[in-house]
Amino acid sequence: MKFNSDEIASVIQKEIENYSAHIDVREVGRVLEVGDGIAQVYGLSGVMAGEMVEFASGATGLAFNLEENSVGVIILGDYLQINEGEEVRSTGKLLSVPVGDELLGRVVDPLGNPLDGKGPIVTSNRRDVEVIATGVAERQPVGEPLQTGIKAVDAMTPIGRGQRELIIGDRKTGKTAIGIDAIINQRDSGVKCFYVAVGQKESTVAGVVEKLRESGAMDYTTVIVAGASDPAPLQYVAPYSGTAMAEQYMFNGGHALIVYDDLSKQAVAYRQLSLLMRRPPGREAFPGDVFYCHSRLLERSAKLSDAMGGGSLTSLPIIETLEGEVSAYIPTNVISITDGQIYLQPDLFFAGIKPAMNAGISVSRVGGAAQVKAMKKVAGGLRLDLASFRELEAFAQLGTELDPATQARLDRGYRMVELLKQGQYKPLNVVDQILMIYAGTRGHLDTVPVDRVQEWEEKFLPFMSDQKSEVRDQLAGDLALSDELIEKINACIGEFNNQYGFAATPEEQTAKA
């Protein structure tokens, strides 16, 4: 945008005319030592815990440790410019970030400063970064679905608006992909998205931003970046500031989704800060309040009561495990805080099953209430069936002779696994998901060869939307399966199988009989 300089000059002129000199009274301290993103400050005797302080060279900090005769400050920004002896002033304010629609489509640092070179973020709306989560009276149970567009997730571990669903797994198992797909799928849902990248390579984040832009998701998404080269205080504070930006929508009756990628790195940054501040180390050298660090963050995700506007904030925290070790300190903490977890396994990933979700230990504790009726009906026993199929599959590998019933369960299992495979950045509409899972769980795919299941899907979904749109529309309207609708869908599938040559040959039918 071009600005008219005359107008700006007149505003400044008014400012000068109204200007009156006055004495600036401030409370100050002096830097005793500085390094590794923290500073010890002498003085500042009236500073509050968590108060924002300003260094004379321009950086801001947070009063982190209040000791008997000095204050430990974490520096949010460039600590290399700060000198020993420099003046530090207290501001009397808590840390806050800009919020609002101006941030959508932007890439910002944890203080809300733009990093994408698209000009300043002009807004005077701000929210405190650290706030206490809403209480019991202001909430209501989760009851509205948040569709991720991923068949395996929406069918087996459904996520509701206001839920916290953990995505956990080793490195390179597709954790970020699930979060990104969930964001991409919010295109028409009106849910605002926030992606908080903590301690990641800048190149990885650039790739994610580019992908979001390509798929049109940046229109409703804000990316908050505290990269691997940013000082630990910024990495520590990034999830909180992302949450503050998302809460703006929740408290105004809107819906927001936030992905924390990932909280293991934030815990490591917090450990670094705490150790430098000489707080006593506990298990795995993490400080004693690392649980609170995550619980107070995730507790801010909520579904607000109707009196509060009914807004929601859904969060998808990501935790990276080492060698599948879920009983390490941070994973167990976050598992216990969240309302369920999606567990991704490398062996499934390398076997080509993507998303590599382990159905047996992935759960959603509250999302079932939020699942659409039709999906609930078709996917009811899917998770347990798939888990028992895995056991059966392991048993079948021993080469024992199997009875026909067991063989049939195995065959169904192979097809379901094939059916739940889904490419990255290809979220599916919930109606399409219901149709596919209906076909799979009700045995309509049993006659389709395993290696042709994906081909079947690719052809069946366009067939339904092009040729049988009245059936699809009815399902999309009700999102429930009446007996009449089931009949219609069965008829559609039969017609499709005949038309595209997926119908069982007579020999197969006699063999089956």
Partner 1 sequence: MNLDPANLPHHETVFDVDAEKLARVYAKAALDAAGDQAQSVVEDLAAIRDEVLSAYPQLAKAFDSALISADEKIGLLDRVFGGKIGDVSLNFLRVLAQHGRLGLLGAVVQSARKIWEERSGQVPVDAVFAQPTDDQTVSQLTGRLREVLGREPLVSVSVDEDLIAGFVVRVGDRVFDASAKTNFELARHAMVARAVEAIQAHPEQFHDSAASDA
**441 vs 228, 373, 460, 499, 507, CA distance in Å?**
45, 16, 16, 22, 23
Query: What is the smallest separation between the CB atom of 30 and partner 1, expressed in angstroms?
Result: 5
CB contact set of 103 (below 8 Å; sequence gap of 6+): 112, 121, 123, 222, 245
Q: Which of 182, 178, 193, 268 is nearest to 224 (CA)?
A: 193
Q: Which is nearer to partner 1, 125 or 499 (CB)?
A: 125
Q: Could you tell me the smallest distance in angstroms from the CB atom of residue 247 to partner 1?
A: 22
Asked whether 401 and 407 are in contact (CB, 8 A), the reply is no
Max intra-chain CA distance, the chain: 98
How near is the Cβ of 413 to partner 1 at its closest, in Å? 59
What CA–CA distance (Å, rounded) separates 29 from 32? 9
- Tokens 């925290």 — which residue? 317
Strand, coil or helix: 38:
strand
Of the chain, the end-to-end C-alpha distance in Å amounts to 73
Smallest gap from Cβ 22 to partner 1, in A, equals: 8
Looking at the Cβ atoms of 25 and 307, the one nearer to partner 1 is: 25
Min dist. Cβ of residue 123 to partner 1 (A):
7
Q: For residue 431, what are the CA distances in angstroms to 142, 191, 192, 257?
A: 21, 19, 22, 21
User: Measured from the CB atom, is 22 or 401 closer to partner 1?
Assistant: 22
Question: How many residues in total does the chain contain?
Answer: 513
> Would you call 460 helix, strand, or coil by DSSP?
helix
**What count of other Cβ atoms lies within 10 Å of the Cβ of residue 80?**
11
Question: 312 has which bridge partners?
Answer: 255, 303
Measured CA to CA, the distance from residue 480 to residue 151 in angstroms comes to 17
Please report, as a single letter, which amino acid is at residue 198.
V
What three-state secondary structure class fits 313?
A: strand
Distance CA 38, CA 215 (A): 40
Which CB, 45 or 252, lies closer to partner 1?
A: 45
67 vs 458, which CB is nearer to partner 1? 67
By CB under 8 A, name the binding residues for partner 1.
1-5, 7-8, 11-12, 14-16, 19, 21-32, 40, 42-46, 67-70, 84-85, 87, 89, 122-124
Q: Which of 187, 365, 409, 442 is catalytic?
A: 365
How far out from the chain centre does Cα 188 lie? Answer: 18
- DSSP conformation class of 74: E
Give Cβ neighbours of residue 233 (< 8 Å, ≥ 6 apart): 37, 38, 61, 62, 74, 75, 76, 269, 273
> CB–CB of 383/359 below 8 Å?
yes
Q: Which is nearer to partner 1, 67 or 325 (CB)?
A: 67
Question: Can you list the positions of beta strands (E) in 84-207?
Answer: 87-94, 96-98, 107-108, 126-128, 166-169, 192-198
Let me know if 365 is a catalytic residue: yes
User: Known catalytic residues?
Assistant: 365
